[in-house]
Each structure stands twice: as structure tokens, then as C-alpha cells.
Structure 1
Amino acid sequence: MYCAIDFGTSNSAIAVPEGPAGATALVPLEGEHRTMPTAVFYFVDGPENDGPPRAFGRAAVAAYVDGLDGRLMRSMKSILGSALVEQTTDVGGGRGVKYLDIIAGYLLHLKRCAEARVGAPIERAVLGRPVHFVDDDPARDAAAQEALASAARRVGFRELQFQYEPIAAAFDHERHLGAEEIVLVADIGGGTSDFSVVRVGPARARRVERHDDVLANHGVHLAGTDFDRRIELAAILPAFGYGAFGPSVGGAAPREVPSGIYFDLATWHLINTVYSPQRVAELRALKGNYADPRHHARLMTVVSERLGHELAARAEQAKIDVADGGQTTIDLSVVEARLAAGLDEATAVDAIEADVARIVEAARETVTRAGLAPERIATLFFTGGSTGLRLLAQRIAAAFPGARAVRGDRFASVATGLGLHAARCFGG
């Protein structure tokens, strides 16, 4: 028995053998949902059961939204390749958990869902990985893959293989083809924007070894969570003092309010650091640095009531709301009555313009590394949650005007392709 796991920054999925020989299917993880948010909520109270009491996926997000006592963990994949992976973090109730153990616990939950589906233990797995866990640092990139492998081995996977996520997406696209073509896969999720140029076709689909069909891989560590961060800084955090100036002292020009706190508030895995008693005391002492006392008061409400993740979630939702154009109002009354901020597509585009330009350049560079001219690309295959952002998909498509654009399942194409690859590797 075997499985294939797409452990994503924002969402995850797992595929197992099902149906005719060599076929796989995605496991329903929550009701009929075949994908699940990559989220864990640690409860302050509750009995230990293979670790601290916790909920996963939508149940984890719901526990957080409902205001239950505990800590929500998201974007855990982003810590792979960093020094945080072996560090211990406070999850409430006097409990501390290593970040790598948080990842292992999530993988164990996926594994148990899969085993319940097939009715047997699973010890072999294909895991997806981004083209680069860490940009321009091969040693840290290798360490990130090994950390993920270590977490998988801890929960009982004895035999592991890795496959690049955009290549897996190409396998999903390939099963619908009637002729051979060269495809550029754009897999843009929560943490990375990955590209692969792959030669695909019905005759090639039967091969287990596809190394020669992969013409180039490239990617950048920029994607949806970075967009969320930019939008929170641009649209939400100015109401809390980001970019504001302090009072003029002695006739000198006003100085900008220190910005470090705002960057931490807009970065998922750093939000919890702003709640430490020492950090809160330091922020309280900065009251005189704000010309508008309302900014400081709102900021102190956020850190004292631990509302940082709530602001980040509202930035993410605002991005989704304007993804296809239009505008939205971001309700911030959780901090202050009647407080709100506006966001329109133009503001969102301006906020993420530099990131989008880097992502488009990465797509061009991938094709260059394949030794191809842009017009040789027959198809652009889009997958990953962030390809729902209209501007981004349009900008990538504009770089390859002769290619047809095909949209896969934004949240399941990679997992489906990993399942196909696992069947070739382990299916006999």
C-alpha cells in the first residue's frame, strides 16, 4: 500500500490507490472535501493524545474563529530550511512543541485519514516538494527536504520518494492529452511560485522514469502568503501606524514610526513573537513616537488581545475578494468599533507589483534554461491557489502569447499528479 502527499503552504491533500490497477484517488479529508487547510490549532485545555490536544484543517480554523483558547499554526511549510525547524514554540497550556513535530503531527493526521480509507497500514509515500524550499542556497534547500523526510519517517513512512510539485501537475495535465506537446507548468501556491518545462504526451505517460522529459525547473520563494503580507501592509496596517510619523520634537522633522512590529504582524510564522511580555512592554513604551495616539492604541489592542492572525486572515480574504476585479471593505471592528479599511484591485496590484514581476521573470527564466524560445511553449498549465489572481495569470500568459492557457484544479492538480507518479513508482 502507498500514498502521495501534497503538503502545501496553504492547503494539503493525499492520494491512495483506488479503482483499476494503477489508478489513484484523493482521500476525502473533511466530509467530501478532498483538500484541507494546512492548519493546526492547539487547545489550551484537553487531554493528551499522541501529543497536545489539537484540531486540524477546517476544524482548526473554526476553533480559532470561534475564539477558543489556544494557538493556530499555519504556513508551517515555510519554516523548512530555516533555523526555526528545531526550535520549540509555546502552544498554550504550559506546553511547548518543536516546529518539526507540528509538521509531523499534521502528516500523521493525513496518513491516518488515508489508512482509514484503504483499510490498511501505509508505509510508502511520494511527497511533493517545491522546486526551491530556499532560494539560492542549495545546502539549506537540501536541509529542508531532509527535515520534511524526517517528519515523514517519524510517523511511520519507511520508503519515501520526492517529486517536484509542478512536474506532478504536468502529469495531471498529461492524462487528458491526445498528442505530445511541451508545457510550461505554473504552480503558484501559498509559499512558492514554481515553474517546470515538461515534454508530455500519451506515449510518455506510461514511462516510470521521466527525467529526460523534464527540460527545466525554476522557482522563487514568493507566492500567496507574500501577497497577503503586502496587502496587509498596504491596506490594513496604516490604520495602526504603519508608515505614519511621530510628532515634531524641537522643530526637527518628524521621524517615521518604527516599522519592525508591522512586518512581524504581517508574517504568519512571526505573529506569535509580538505577544511576548517583553515585546508588549517595549511597544507600550513607544507611545510617544506616535503623532496620532489612535494608531498606538489600536496597535496595543492587537498585541494585548492577540488579534494578529485575525488581521492576517482578513488581508487574505480581501485579496480573494478583489482577485477578479472590483473592491471590498475590510471590517476591522474586532479592534475598534466601526473601524474599516478599503481595498480595490488597483491598490492590490500596486502592492504586489514587484512580487508579480519577479514571478513572471522566473517563468521566462525557466523557458530560457530549457533552451527554448517562448513560442515553443504550446500550453501554459496553471495550478495552485494563487493562480486565481487574475493579474498574475494574465501577466504570465502575456509573456507566452502563442501558448494556450489551461487551468487545472487549483488545489488538487499537484496531489492528483503525485498520485499518478506514486502508482508508477510503487504500483508494480
Structure 2
Amino acid sequence: MQGDLAAGALGLDFGTTNTVVSLAQSDGTSELVEFDGPEEPGAVFRSALCFWEEESAWNGIACEAGPHAIAEYLQSPLDSRFVQSFKTVAASTTFERALVFGKPFRFEDFGRLFLQRLVQHAGGRLDARPRRVIVGRPVEYAGARPDPDLARRRYDLMLREFGVELFYVYEPLGAAFSYASRLTEPATVLVADFGGGTTDFSIVQVGEPGASRRCAPLAASGVGIAGDRFDRHIVEQLVLPMLGKGGQYRSMGKILDIPGGWFAEFSDWSRLALMRNRRTLEELRRLQKDALDAQAIGRMIALIEHEQGFPLYDAVGRLKRALSSERQAQFHFESGGVEITAEVDRADFEAWIRHDLVRIEAALDAAIVKAAVEPSRIDRVFLTGGSSLIPAIRAIFDRRFGEDRIATGGELTSIAHGLALVGQERDVEAWAA
């Protein structure tokens, strides 16, 4: 049964930060697809695009994706537009299109271009259109008042040329399938998936190896808070005060606070690159003339004009990773005429994300209540996703379930691996979200 289905089953974990693809194998396993890169191949493909103007390209705009997008940007940052984390607008009713070199791009346009480039860099392994594509989706989408039906329509348009049959499965359920393949006995498993845009939970009953239905989902919940939100806190605390946040300007003989909207845009990775347009820069220059601290607004303009979103994102990521292993780390950013250096204690970072952790724990409680399972009856807890490495997050599960019940591994690849396993099931609809 499985051999027939496995030949055309593909698991696609299209993530906010990274994308991973896995192909089902005839022996009931799945295998990650490796992509070529500027330096070396790898299974993790950055969910990013870089655009630049080129007469011979379609519509006069060329693009690259993944690590190649980063390489293109670093080669010519002033002549390119770097877009990342665009998954965060999938369910946003306020996002219609973004202008890149004056041309409009919808979410599905970004998505189709991204997948086309991903296929090109897969060494021929994705050239044949797969029979089944099992696509991971968050339990709750990122953003304020997200519309899951809108996200579904956009995903359908993005993926319409990628596979014959499309099935959407909650991302933590994919991770649960992956983890279940390690188990040798029945267990009730809680999976916590910490992505770039969302945190999702799934509680699953895992049966005996070889059972006709190995995993039975009991409940799922999620919240639109994860790694990107933590990054925003770092930017708000360390970067935005240097760019005029909390400052004032003169207007009609009065001293007024600078509107916070500028800083909300700047700290959102999905929108930062798109601020480099004539209208935005002209408005900022007018603000600079009236600002009490004109130099601060000048620094913001310089960062936008010099396309410094990626270096800033990279510096924030380095700090966050360092604080996962060290109690103190240095934040250092120097580019575009702006230099920011600060020593950061892990305790400070944990204070910045404290309210987010409360909401994450509330989503965990919701999953447990829906599953009608006592926490003491949960046998194993599987933590996956990059932010699961943050000590304050790990501490929640150590405290509630005990270290002996917690398992980790495959932080960036477990979802894709499990989604391909779901694709081997005869009745995939039973797992679909």
C-alpha cells in the first residue's frame, strides 16, 4: 500500500524563516531534499527572495531565493530588494500587494516565485510534479485578526502548479508523525512547534508500531507569537531608540510625539525592505526637518536607503542564539553609517519576552483542555523549531512535565519529514486541517 503512494508524496514545510522539503520513500521512510547553495548544499532553504532590475528578465525584474537571495543581496544591496518572512502576511486582510521596483506583487506571487527557484536548486529531485503534496500550516496564523480562509486561498494559488493533490496538515502534527517514527511503544505525545511566526501545539495518541493508524490527533492550538516576535523585542529595545523612537517633533508651534507607526513598520521584517520607496523616504525626510533629534531620524533613513534589513536581522539572530547558550552576550551592528553595540543579559531578554511567554503557555493550556488529558498522562513532550532552544521556553516544559519526559531534535527538519510520512497514509484527508 505505502510503496504505491510513497512514490509521489512530498512533505512541504514552508516556514516563516526556513523551508524544508522531504520525499516519501517506498520503504515507508522519508528523505530530505538537499538544495545547492553558494557555498555548500543543505536541506534548509531560507524563505527569502531578492529582486533586482534586469532588462532581459520577465517584467524587467529578476529574482533569486533562499541562500542565493542572500548572496545576491550581499553582492549589491543598494540595487536590490530583499524580502523575507513574507509568510507572516498570508492571512492578513490588510495586505494586498507590495511594490517592488514599482511592480505590484501579491503574497501568491512571492510564493510562486519562491517555489520556482526552490525547484531549480533541488538538483532535479523536484522536477517531476509530485502526486501528493502535504503542506504544513500553522494552527493559528500570525498577525492581528488573521483570516485562515484567505490564507488557504492564497496558499492554493501559490501551490497550484506545485503538485497534483494538495493537503494541508497542522505543522505540529507533521512533527508528531516524525517523532512517532522513533517510538517503539504506545504513548500520548505533546508536540510543541516554535517557528518564526507562530507557536503551535498538538497532542497525539501514538499506537503500536505497525498499527493501521499510528497517530490519532487529540487536539491542537496555537498563537501567532514566535521567533520573529522575539526579534522585534530586541529591535525595539536596542535599535529603535537610536532611530528616534520616543522622540518628538515640531508641528504648528507645538511639540508632539513622533507617531509609533514608523517604528512598527521598521521592526517588522516582512515590511522593512518595502519601506525603501520614494513616498516613504520623502515623508521621513519631512519628519527629519521637524524632529528635535534630526540625527536619529537620519539614521533610520540611512538604514532604509542602504538596504540594511538583512544585516540588522542577522545581528539580532546572532544575539538571540548566543543568549540561548550564554547568560550574557554582545549585540553589535555596524552598517549604513549606524553603529550600535550593547551588552545584553539573558535576564533582560527574558523580561522583554515575558508577556509573550504567558500567551504561549495559555495556548499550551488550551491544547491540554481540548484533549481532555491530564498533564500527568502525557508520556512524552517533543519540542521542535528554532525557538525551542531558548532557555526560558525550555524552562516552561521542564517545570510542567519534568526533564525526563522531554525530547528534542530535528529542530528545523522534523515537520517536513513527518509531513511526507503523512503522505504515505491511504486516507490523508483524516489528517488534513
State the shift of 1:392 in Å.
1.2
Provide the secondary structure at the position in 2 that maps to 1:332. Answer: strand
Q: Is 1:334 aligned to residue 312 of structure 2?
A: no
Contact 2:98 2:274 in 1 (8 A): no
Q: Which residue of 2 aligns with 1:216?
A: 219
Provide the secondary structure at the position in 1 that maps to 2:325. Answer: coil
**Amino acid in structure 2 at the alignment position of 1:101:** D
**Amino acid in structure 2 at the alignment position of 1:88:** R
Q: Which residue of 2 aligns with 1:190?
A: 196
Provide the secondary structure at the position in 2 that maps to 1:4. Answer: strand
What is the number of residues matched between the two proteins? 417
Contact 1:4 1:418 in 2 (8 A): yes
Q: Which residue of 1 aligns with 2:182?
A: 176
1:124 aligns with one of 124, 127, 132: 132
CA RMSD in angstroms comes to: 2.9
State the shift of 1:280 in Å.
2.0
Unaligned runs of 5+ in 2: 1-7, 429-433
Contact 2:142 2:198 in 1 (8 A): no
State the shift of 1:418 in Å.
0.5
State the shift of 1:403 in Å.
6.1
Q: Taking structure 1 as reference, are residues 324 and 244 closer, same or farther at Cα in structure 2, changes over 3 Å only?
A: farther
Distance 2:276 2:399 in 1: 44
Q: Which residue of 2 aligns with 1:148?
A: 155
Deviations 1:166-214 (A, max 9, x none): 0111111111111111111000110110001111133475427x5xx21
* Segment drifting more, 112-121 vs 194-203: 112-121
Unaligned runs of 5+ in 1: none
1:53 aligns with one of 58, 62, 65: 62
Q: Is 1:243 aligned to residue 246 of structure 2?
A: yes
Distance 2:32 2:251 in 1: 61
- TM-score, length-normalised on structure 2? 0.87
Distance 2:280 2:126 in 1: 49
Q: Which residue of 1 aligns with 2:12?
A: 5
Q: Taking structure 1 as reference, are residues 70 and 196 closer, same or farther at Cα in structure 2, changes over 3 Å only?
A: same
Q: Which residue of 2 aligns with 1:161?
A: 167
Q: Is 1:76 aligned to residue 86 of structure 2?
A: yes
Contact 1:237 1:262 in 2 (8 A): yes
Contact 2:245 2:260 in 1 (8 A): yes
Contact 1:5 1:15 in 2 (8 A): yes
State the shift of 1:307 in Å.
2.6
Contact 1:173 1:408 in 2 (8 A): no
Q: Which residue of 2 aligns with 1:379?
A: 380
Contact 1:378 1:402 in 2 (8 A): no
Q: Is 1:62 aligned to residue 71 of structure 2?
A: yes
Provide the secondary structure at the position in 2 that maps to 1:329. Answer: strand
**Amino acid in structure 2 at the alignment position of 1:81:** A
**Amino acid in structure 2 at the alignment position of 1:382:** L
Distance 2:45 2:166 in 1: 22
Q: Is 1:36 aligned to residue 45 of structure 2?
A: yes
**Amino acid in structure 2 at the alignment position of 1:367:** I
Q: Which residue of 1 aligns with 2:413?
A: 412
Contact 1:191 1:225 in 2 (8 A): yes
**Amino acid in structure 2 at the alignment position of 1:221:** G
Contact 2:276 2:305 in 1 (8 A): yes
Distance 1:330 1:342 in 2: 6
Contact 2:193 2:385 in 1 (8 A): yes
Q: Which residue of 2 aligns with 1:229?
A: 232
Distance 1:118 1:308 in 2: 31
Q: Which residue of 2 aligns with 1:107?
A: 115
Distance 1:168 1:48 in 2: 38
Percent identity, please: 28
Q: Which residue of 2 aligns with 1:292?
A: 293
Distance 1:312 1:222 in 2: 17
Q: Which residue of 2 aligns with 1:304?
A: 305
State the shift of 1:391 in Å.
1.3
* Segment drifting more, 5-14 vs 340-349: 340-349
Deviations 1:382-401 (A, max 9, x none): 11111121111212332333
Q: Which residue of 2 aligns with 1:23?
A: 29
Contact 1:171 1:205 in 2 (8 A): no
Contact 1:360 1:399 in 2 (8 A): no
Provide the secondary structure at the position in 2 that maps to 1:216. Answer: strand
Contact 2:173 2:191 in 1 (8 A): yes
Provide the secondary structure at the position in 1 that maps to 2:335. Answer: coil
Distance 1:99 1:22 in 2: 34
Q: Taking structure 1 as reference, are residues 23 and 344 closer, same or farther at Cα in structure 2, changes over 3 Å only?
A: same
- TM-score, length-normalised on structure 1? 0.88
